[in-house]
Chains A and B, each alone.
Chain A
Amino acid sequence: MKDKAKEILNYLEGKTPIKTGGQKRVYVVNSKKYGKIAVKIGKFDSEKVLERAKRETETQTKIDSPYFAKVYEFLATDREYIIVEEFIEGETLTKRLTEYSEVKDALDLLNHLIEGLKLLWPRIVHRDLKPDNIIIKSNGNPVIIDLGIARLLDHTSLTLSDQGSGPCTPAYAAIEQLTNRKTDIDWRTDQFALGIITSQLLMKGQHPFDPKYIGNRNSYADNIMSGIYKIEVPKVVSELIKKMLGKEPHQRFRKPEPLIEKLNKISEVL
């Protein structure tokens, strides 16, 4: 396995990655075996990082769905791991956030995301849903990427309990992630992030916990932890969004089904 990994690294040497960030870089390659693929390379200096990458691929390997990229291979050298996966053609939702301000369009996208995420829930929680991690394909269908911090609820946690917060993107993290209350993290944590994303869709990209938009001097995380947000969305969806943005997990939808039911009811009256 190490030889093959080294071979891939040698092949990519000198080539330009399409994305770099932190310890990671992503290349797009045409493979004889798989067609157009994304090769994600990450450095690891601890077993924890390697284990997290392994879990990401394990999770994705188990899911065969158009809502997730297919993982073909996982390889590692002594210092780097390589994930070979399907390349998704499209743009991140971040770039297209303003295109969904009609309620129907926003709810259609939310419906699609839930349909995909239901393949993970309740056993697996994505934990890092945000517009950057959603690719909109040319046919309009979303693909959810970066399951790097997805957590199988029956797996041992990779984060120490006494850390201030667990792995997450603070502006999209629910209070239980920000305060690292691991036992409270479940599918409702993803629901909270979806609540933020849906608000952004309906408000032309405006983040509901943005301190400037609210008019306070807090950080995004402070506002999330205090349950301070502002939404200017059509009345027909405001109750739904408020429930999804419930400060505590018990204040959100308990199961995906009632959330979907509510979505369908709203769609019927649109």
Chain B
Amino acid sequence: MALEIYHQLGHNAVWNFDSIRDDNTGDGVIISPRHIKRSKIEAYPVNTRNRAIFDPQFFLPREAFKKLTTYEFFPANIANEFETNGFIESHANDCAEACVNFQIENGFRFITIPTRYLPGMPSDFSANLEKIFIRPHITALNSKTNHNQVLLEIIVNQQMINDAEYQRDLLNWLTGLDGIDGIYLILERPSNPKQFQDENTIYNYLRFINAIKLNDMFLVMGYLGLESLVYSIASPDIVTIGTFENTRVFQIDSFAESETDRRGPRPRVYFSKLIQSIDHGLLDAFSRRLDDYNELLDHNGYQVEMFQPEFKWHFTKSAIYKHHLLEFSTQLRNIAELDGRQRFERVTEMINIANDNFRRISEAGIPLDIDSGGNHLNIWLTAMNEFAQDQGWR
């Protein structure tokens, strides 16, 4: 089945909708109630909602920040003082019923059973999630005569995935749950450096994705950055792309505090032939010192706009993000119809080309820091090669 691309919505979701409409960069959206009021979602066109996935974002159920306050079924809203046992006893069923009703009434593509954020490797991970959200939601769903397919949301971290027994237990549990059709998987990783640089974890994530797919479960992968190219070889059904970094890397802090006081990120330009976003401050050096600079660029209307002398580089400029969405989604579209093995071969080619380009940049005397450089590429390739070997592809 072809790989679908969904936009992970966050701030300025209007850019995502523009990008999908104007540049065909996505097949649907994952709605973020943290950033979008309930009334606004209910006003989306029916066909948008029918293609959308609603992520309830119950990650930190104790406090409802920002727009989450507009959802009466958010745990902290439904229970005045959220406390886990009290919630399970008195509110979990009402919360689940309202959350399910909201999703059915809006006609979203799937019903998403929410998750909470549990760091480390809790021994009661599955029991905790079953009690607080999963069983109440499945009970609510069982009372409905008709509903769309059900996704279970889950956040998996590096410790969980790199511990063989914990990973095994997670898989046995997830694949044994009755009443769900698929997984909405969030893989936690550090946001620094900007590209994920841990081959062991990437390899174990690939194995985890593959194991879920071997169980014929629908798999949506949320909060992904450029590493979605790597994960695509394990054949998930939907990968996500996003505008701001907090939609490309899952950061629990984004759900714990107000983001208004944070400094905006330095604008970076995506180069598909480098599979990396480059700090805009380096572009002058690139243009002066790289003979084939023009070939390195991705030529589109947004690039033209950004490279006008009067363009004011600022993280609030939509062209920077729309350029990223256009170029990166094109790369994903180019492998969407391929099978896992063919994707592995194609992404390997892309990485090899990017490595050559980074070599030329280095030879031109332009040292790049860890966030603009190509360190991640061989790390990704190592993980991909190991996975490919397991699959008998090499």
Contacts and interface: CB of A to CB of B under 8 A. Distances in A.
Given A122-B178, A183-B126, A250 B217 contact: no
B178 A248 contact: no
A122 B180 CA distance: 14
A258 B215 CA distance: 10
A251 B174 CA distance: 12
A184 interface: yes
A167 to B, nearest CB: 20
Contacts of A122: 178
A184 B176 contact: yes
B330 interface: no
A85 interface: no
A204 interface: no
Contact of A188 (B176, B214, B216): B176
Interface string B122-165: 00001000000000000000000000000000000000000000
A248 B176 contact: no
A249 B175 contact: yes
A188 B171 CA distance: 13
Interface residues of B, number: 15
A251 B23 CA distance: 40
A249 B175 CA distance: 8
Interface residues of A, number: 13
B126 A250 contact: no
B36 interface: no
Contacts of B169: 181, 183-184
B393 interface: no
A136 to B, nearest CB: 31
Nearest to B178: A122
User: Which of the listed residues A176, A183, A254 has the most CB atoms from chain B within 10 Å of its own CB?
Assistant: A254
Nearest to A184: B172
B211 interface: yes
A250 B178 contact: no
Interface in A159-196: 176, 181, 183-184, 186, 188
Contacts of B176: 184, 186, 188, 249-250, 254
A251 B169 CA distance: 12
Interface in B202-216: 211, 214-216
B314 interface: no
Interface of B is mostly: helix
Contacts of A181: 169
B293 interface: no
B189 to A, nearest CB: 23
A181 B165 CA distance: 12
B173 interface: yes
Nearest to B212: A250
Given A184-B176, A188-B176, A248 B217 contact: no
Nearest to B174: A250
A248 B171 contact: yes
A250 B216 contact: no
Nearest to A187: B176
User: Which of the listed residues A183, A249, A250 has the most CB atoms from chain B within 10 Å of its own CB?
Assistant: A250
A253 to B, nearest CB: 9
User: Which of the listed residues B168, B176, B214, B217 has the most CB atoms from chain A within 10 Å of its own CB?
Assistant: B176
Given A122-B178, A183-B126, A248 B215 contact: no
B216 A249 contact: no
A186 B174 CA distance: 12
A14 to B, nearest CB: 50
15 contacts: A176-B172, A183-B126, A184-B172, A184-B176, A248-B168, A248-B171, A249-B175, A250-B168, A250-B172, A250-B174, A250-B176, A250-B215, A251-B214, A254-B175, A258-B216
- 8 interchain residue pairs of minimum CB distance: A250-B171, A250-B175, A254-B215, A249-B172, A184-B172, A186-B176, A250-B172, A254-B175
Interface of A: 122, 176, 181, 183-184, 186, 188, 248-251, 254, 258
Given A183-B173, A250-B168, 7 more contacts: A183-B169, A186-B176, A248-B168, A249-B176, A250-B171, A250-B174, A254-B176
